[in-house]
């Protein structure tokens, strides 16, 4: 039994096409940014159209994926959650930190559309980096998965507070993309020094933004190809 467990291997069944080009702007949980969409493209060597039968009748999915850009040797027993400002250590198993014994993620997303012909689905409210490998998808079952009495003690006094986002430069930018960027930055945890300009990428944009005392300021949005 020990040998068989140690030799477990899994192959990705799909890959994510996401507007998040780096890890900086990815929401710290799924569901925080419902405007943000992604496509999951399935491997035709493993998946055929039969797998998609009846999927149109499912509203939400659990997606099991791999944190594929984790650096080696970052398996940690305690982490510093951004939601607490990165100042308090919490045991890894009490968090959703990507730095785990096995770098697996679990996200709940809304299913927007299904394409059997292209072996792909579109989801929203995700927290996936572009090119993320997907190991499996499963339907969210409300009567089994929802727990009204659930709790996480260290998060009880850490509600999501959406910040104001001030764009100093937004001309000639797709209005929908601006709304997406605003939604993403509005839930960004306050972990950066005040006034420090952060560089990050989203879709085909190069962003420069900073955390100020009462808002997030976007200084620059440049298109790159």
Quick: pLDDT tens for 22-41: 999 999 899 999 999 999 99
**Does position 19 have pLDDT exceeding 60, yes or no?**
yes
What value does the mean pLDDT of the chain take?
91
Report phi then psi at 182, rounded to 5.
Answer: -60, -45
Q: Categorize the per-residue pLDDT at 204 as very low, low, confident or very high, splitting at 50, 70 and 90.
A: very high
Q: Which of 23, 10, 14 is nearest to 127 (CA)?
A: 23
Q: What is the DSSP string of 87-156?
A: -S-EEGGGS--S-SSS-EEEEEEEEEEEETTTTEEEEES----TT-EEEEEEE--HHHH--TT---GGGT
What gap in Å lies between CA 212 and CA 124, rounded to an integer? 29
Q: What pTM value is reported for the model?
A: 0.90
∠ CA 175-32-68 to the nearest 5 degrees?
Answer: 100
State the average pLDDT over residues 95-111.
93
Distance (Å, whole) CA 169 – CA 188: 19
Query: Interior CA angle at 59 toward 51 and 106, to 5°?
Result: 75
Distance CA 133, CA 16 (A): 7
Residue 1 pLDDT:
47
Alpha carbon distance 174, 109 (integer Å)? 24
Instruction: Express each pLDDT in 125-180 by its tens digit.
Output: 999 999 999 999 999 999 999 988 888 898 887 677 899 999 998 778 999 999 99
Pairing of strands 37-42, 60-66: unpaired
More confident residue, 172 or 62: 62
Q: Provide the pLDDT for residue 2.
A: 54
Q: What domains are there in the chain, each with its CATH number? A: 2-145 (2.40.30.70), 161-223 (no CATH)
CB neighbour list of residue 124: distance below 8 Å, 6 or more residues apart: 34, 35, 36, 37, 38, 109, 110, 112
pLDDT grade for 83, boundaries at 50, 70 and 90:
confident
Which has more confidence, 14 or 88?
A: 14
Alpha-carbon distance 170 to 174, whole Å?
9
């Amino acid at each position: 039994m020990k040998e068989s467990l140690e030799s477990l291997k899994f192959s990705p069944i799909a890959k994510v096409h996401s507007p998040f080009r780096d890890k900086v702007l990815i929401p710290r949980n799924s569901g925080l940014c419902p405007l943000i969409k992604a496509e999951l493209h399935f491997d035709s060597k493993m998946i055929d159209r039969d797998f998609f039968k009846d999927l149109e009748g499912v509203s939400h999915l659990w997606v099991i994926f791999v944190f594929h850009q984790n650096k080696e040797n970052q398996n940690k027993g305690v982490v510093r959650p951004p939601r607490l400002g990165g100042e308090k250590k919490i045991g890894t198993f009490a968090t959703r930190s990507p730095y785990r014994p096995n770098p697996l993620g679990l996200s709940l997303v809304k299913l927007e559309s299904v394409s059997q012909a292209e072996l792909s689905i579109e989801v929203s409210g995700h927290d996936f980096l572009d090119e993320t490998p997907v190991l499996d998808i499963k339907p969210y079952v409300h009567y089994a998965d929802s727990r009204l009495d659930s709790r996480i003690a260290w998060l009880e006094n850490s509600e999501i507070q959406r910040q104001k986002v001030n764009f100093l430069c937004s001309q000639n930018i797709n209005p929908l993309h601006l709304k997406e960027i605003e939604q993403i930055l509005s839930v960004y945890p306050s972990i950066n020094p005040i006034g420090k300009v952060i560089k990050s990428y989203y879709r085909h944009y190069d962003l420069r933004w900073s955390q100020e005392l009462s808002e997030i300021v976007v200084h620059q949005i440049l298109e790159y190809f």
